[in-house]
Amino acid sequence: MSLTLPSYPVSEILQPLSQALREGNRAIVSAPPGAGKTTIIPLHLLEEPWRGDGRIILLEPRRLAARAAASRMAALLHEKVGETVGYRMRLDNRISSRTRIEVVTEGVFARMILDDPELSGISAVLFDEFHERSLDADFGLALALDCQAGLRDDLRLAVMSATLDVERISSLLDEPPVLKSEGRSFPVEIRHRDRPGTERVEDAVTSVILDAHASEQGSILAFLPGQAEIRRVAERLEGRLAASTRVVPLYGNLSQAEQDQAIKPAPAGTRKVVLATSIAETSITIDGVRIIVDSGLQRLPVFEPATGMTRLETVKASRASADQRAGRAGRTEPGLAIRLWHAGQTAALPAFTPPEILSTDLSGLVLDMAHWGVCDPAQLAFIDPPPAAPWKEARALLKSLGALDEHGRLTPRGHQMRGLGLPPRLAAMVIASAEKGLAKPAADLAVLLTEQGLGGNDIDLDERLRRFRSDRSERASAARGLAGRLADQAGGRTASSEPVSAGRLLLHAFPDRIAFQRGGRGRYVMANGRGGELEETERLAASALLVVADLTGRAGKARILAAAEMSLAEIEAELPEAITQGDESFFDRGSREVRARRVKRLGAITLEEAPLPRPTGEAAAKALAEGVRELGLDHLPFSKSTEQLRQRIGFLARTLGEPWPDMSDNALTERLEEWFTPFQTGARSFAEISASGLADGLRSLVPHALQRELDKLAPTHFTAPTGMNHPIHYEGDEPKLTIRVQELFGLRQHPTIGGGKLPLLLELTSPAHRPIQTTRDLAGFWAGSWSDVRADMRGRYPKHPWPEDPAGAQPTTRAKPRGT
């Protein structure tokens, strides 16, 4: 095949790219929007000798971009899509035996390599628009590098984007050639229009669109963070533009036909205003667009491992995204990009959009990696390794679903789940339902939940299922076909013609999100202990019991996006193991007593409870320990001697370190089961806590071999020369002794503890016990400032002895005898 390709800016690097892939097997391509890399590079590589008869795989981040790229390449070859160039995605494949360039979505490629680790019949893999850093792209590249290193050193890999973190990617790929194409097809003028914080983004975008439409030629593409803003801008523009200008939305939930309509050129003599999310940033050309309006915002999902919830956050777009968006204006003619922020703010934007791997649910990744034979992510070459907390949470979830064993390896059920190509929770639902003869309805529901907008956007999943099953659109038909194949793969279709509620099926995917109404209409608490809310006007808001499939927002006040009604009887029939019953002792904060009850629970939700007689012994002591955790150690009846014991041991821990135990509040709270519980088995309330038991418990933390050392190293009292004992205080940074100065007469050496190694801080007082001097050197005090103290004290306390040489005087606690 001999190809004559049109000239694009990227044409200047085609020969260096050919040389790089002939002499090596990796390359990096950096080319701005409009340079032609997505279309021209795959076609150019068709004629490379190393390709043989192998296929070239081009990865695109979105279905819209994949279809558009395949269509453009096929048009350049004067062919139909599905001949030399085809595409493959979840619900739409157009390939044939003649296809040599396959444009695939990133998730499809990950499944391709997982199912065929050698990538048989594939000569090259091109990762386009890699700057988006989707989880599937990062994982796909890690797998491809592993395949290339271990099985296919003849496999060519190229990473391509307009805005790449070249240094990090180059390091990951062992410094391959980096090829940069300068310039774009047409110049783009950048203007700024600052948006005050009080101005709504839809108002600002509407205003700029109206001004640009009146003063500039060509169609307009406006970037907004989400569907809600797109809808509001469309409403504001209604009736305010010429009849020859059409306003069209572009976002992921639209059907293929609606998306294609947005990117088609406007008919001659007309204009378009396309209102889009970030879906329009890369790899697509919207014919006729020469004006970009950039809100500077995007909406990103953020996964919270502790709750298993994903919430959407509206954040500032990165500099890389802003460049990509502006580049859309210069694809077919000189363009204009209007940014809704001050020019000086651009430098403060993040350089790149955060990689998805750092803020998403990793359960699918963990499952796929286990299939690859890898349990430790460090064994694969990730640019950013998966974070520890989401990784741990994902493994725990997969173990609870029966997909992984204790060592993180795939179980037979895990193999079956991974084979379905569904998110793990939904795969588990389909398999569990198949065992009950309900594979088809479960597969319908799984496909519905993984395809945005399918069956509408109703929160009630039973209603969405009904609409999906009656939808005769091409997309819905393809989705039902996929559901049928999944049902067959899972082990059969429906055994009964009776309708099955979505809630009954969802139990097997989201047992932790079974939700009971608490606190009024539309307010729910889930089995995982988290709350969720519905608008009171929603039909489901009156339901006593739901199972939640999707929700967003902060953990304390999450908004339910998709759910189904169900009954307690269904839970008891489908998931009897989820409901537990048992006796428990607990601490009642109001009375500060231990009580007992018989409780029937579903996770964090109490279904039934009945009081039991108050517990005794270890059960009561454990409940009291929970009370201590709740109220704090300062509510315990420590005696003065016990408090001093704690301070003495704590001082030795601070001074000498281990094995002397830490006596801080946090440390003792963590070890209540060691020192509190065993010594309070006779107590059933705070009032009955044994003070002597507290002392015995604290002593028990000191290793037996050191217990005899305690009194030597940190004695309770100091015996003065008068023979009187005075307590030593250990609560500060150093041990302190408060004593009347006259009791130390005749003492030439400074008092110490710890075998003579630790001097006491002496707080010397007057006969009236008022402080007169603090010292760590008694001998120096006698020889130095004593004379000034003596002069002052003689005037204040003339009846007491104040010798010139206190080191040689007799210690006393009394005044001078009368007549002396």
pLDDT 10s digits, 398-443: 999 999 999 899 999 999 999 998 999 999 999 999 998 899 999 9
Q: Could you tell me which of 547, 506, 544, 550 has the C-alpha nearest to residue 526?
A: 547
How many CB atoms sit inside 10 A of residue 56's CB? Answer: 24
pLDDT at 33 over 80: no
In sequence order, what are the residues at sequence separation of 6 or more whose Cβ sits closer than 8 angstroms to the Cβ of residue 538?
A: 459, 460, 522
Please give the Cα distance from 611 to 622 (Å, whole number). Answer: 18
* Three-state SS annotation for 407-466: CCCECHHHHHHHHCCCCHHHHHHHHHHHCCCCHHHHHHHHHHHHCCCCCCCCCEHHHHHH
CB 176 within 8 A of CB 27: yes
- 128 contacts 58 by C-beta, under 8 angstroms: yes
What integer is the mean pLDDT of 355-359? 91
Instruction: Decide: 408 and 395 in contact? Cβ < 8 Å.
Output: yes
Provide DSSP, 231-261: HHHHHHHTTSS-TTEEEEEE-TTS-HHHHHH
666 — pLDDT class (breaks 50, 70, 90): very high
Residue 65: band (very low, low, confident or very high) from pLDDT cuts 50, 70, 90: confident
Give the whole-angstrom CA distance, residue 672 versus residue 667. 9
More confident residue, 800 or 288: 800
The residue behind tokens 């260096």 is: 16
Residue 142, H or E segment: helix 135-150
Structural contact between residues 540 and 546, judged by C-beta atoms closer than 8 angstroms: yes
pLDDT band at residue 773 using 50, 70 and 90 as cut-offs? very high
What does the block give as tokens for 89?
A: 């995605």
pLDDT digits (tens, 9 = 90+) for 102-115: 999 988 999 999 99
Chain segment 701-731, per-residue pLDDT in tens? 999 889 888 988 999 999 999 999 999 999 8
Superfamily (CATH H level) for 188-357: P-loop containing nucleotide triphosphate hydrolases (3.40.50.300)
> Lowest-confidence range among 172-176, 556-560, 595-599?
556-560
* CA 758 from centroid of its chain's CA atoms: 50
707: number of Cβ within 10 Å: 11
Q: Which one of 3.40.190.10, 3.40.228.10, 3.40.50.20, 3.40.50.300 gives the CATH number of domain 9-180? A: 3.40.50.300
d(Cα 241, Cα 266) in Å, to the nearest integer? Answer: 15
Structure tokens at 480: 């039902």
First and final C-alpha spacing in the chain: 127
Residue 154: pLDDT band (50, 70, 90) is very high
Between 184 and 578, the more confident residue is: 578
The whole-number pLDDT of residue 183 equals 64
> What distance in Å separates the CA atoms of residue 536 and residue 523, rounded to the nearest whole number?
9
Tokens for 407, please give them: 């060592």
Residue 506's contacts (CB-CB under 8 Å, 6 or more residues apart) are 429, 445, 461, 547, 549, 564, 566
9-180 shares its CATH topology with 188-357: yes
Mean pLDDT of 632-653: 93
Nearest to 241 by CA among 212, 276, 200, 280: 212
| 352 in Cβ contact with 383 (< 8 Å) | no
Which tokens hold the place of 14?
């085609």
Contact between residue 139 and residue 368 where contact means Cβ atoms under 8 Å apart: yes
* Residue ranges per structural domain of the chain: 9-180, 188-357, 630-713, 717-808
Contact 41, 29 (CB under 8 A): yes
Strand-pairing partners, residue 122, are: 55
Q: What is the pLDDT of residue 252?
A: 78
Task: Quote the percentage of the chain above a pLDDT of 90.
Answer: 70
Contact 163, 306 (CB under 8 A): no
Q: State the chain's mean pLDDT as an integer.
A: 90
286 neighbors 322 (Cβ within 8 angstroms)? no
pLDDT digits (tens, 9 = 90+) for 484-523: 999 999 986 555 566 789 999 999 999 999 999 988 899 9
| CB crowding 223-245: b at 16 or more within 10 Å, else e | bbbebebbebbbebbeeebeeeb
CB 660 within 8 A of CB 649: yes
pLDDT at 331: 77
Residue 654 has pLDDT above 60, yes or no: yes
Question: Is pLDDT of 479 > 70?
Answer: yes
User: Is residue 157 a contact partner of residue 143, using CB atoms and an 8 Å limit?
Assistant: no
Question: Residue 336 contacts by C-beta under 8 Å, 6 or more apart in sequence?
Answer: 188, 189, 191, 212, 216, 290, 291, 292, 329
Lowest mean pLDDT of 76-80, 188-192, 278-282, 775-779, name the range.
278-282
Q: Which helix (H) or strand (E) holds 712?
A: helix 704-713
What's the rounded mean pLDDT across residues 576-583? 90
Q: CB count, 10 Å around CB of 178? A: 17
798 Cβ contact list (under 8 Å, min separation 6): none
Spatial strand order of the sheet with 771-775 comes to 717-719, 725-729, 736-740, 761-765, 771-775
Summarize the confidence of residues 724-745 as an average pLDDT.
Answer: 92
Report helix, strand and coil shares of the chain as percent, to nearest 5.
40, 20, 35
Q: Distances from the Cα of 702 to the Cαs of 7, 647, 666, 670, 675, in angstroms?
A: 82, 13, 17, 16, 10
pLDDT tens digits for range 743-758: 999 999 999 988 788 8
Q: Phi and psi of 240, rounded to 5°?
A: -110, 0
Pair 110, 141: CB distance under 8 Å: no
Count the alpha carbons within 13 Å of 545 in the hemisphere toward its beta carbon: 17
The one-letter amino acid code at 617 reads: G
Contact 795, 704 (CB under 8 A): no
Q: Round to whole Å and give the CA distance between 475 and 471.
A: 9
Q: Per residue in 163-194, pLDDT tens?
A: 777 888 999 999 999 999 876 668 899 999 99
Place of tokens 């990730």: 382
Q: What is the pTM of this model?
A: 0.75
Is 536 exposed, middle or buried (CB count within 10 Å of its CB: 0-12, 13-18, 19+)?
A: exposed
**Amino acid found at 571:** I
Q: For residues 484-500, b (16+ Cβ closer than 10 Å) or e, as one string?
A: bebbebbeeebeeeeeb
Quote the pLDDT of residue 285. 74
Q: Is residue 568 classed as helix, strand or coil in its secondary structure?
A: helix
CA distance to 205, 390, 550, 651, 737, per residue, from 312 (Å): 21, 17, 12, 50, 61
Q: Where are the beta strands (DSSP E) in 554-629?
A: 558-565, 579-588, 593-602, 605-612
CA-based Rg of the chain, rounded to a whole angstrom?
A: 38
pLDDT digits (tens, 9 = 90+) for 292-326: 999 999 988 887 776 666 777 888 999 988 988 99
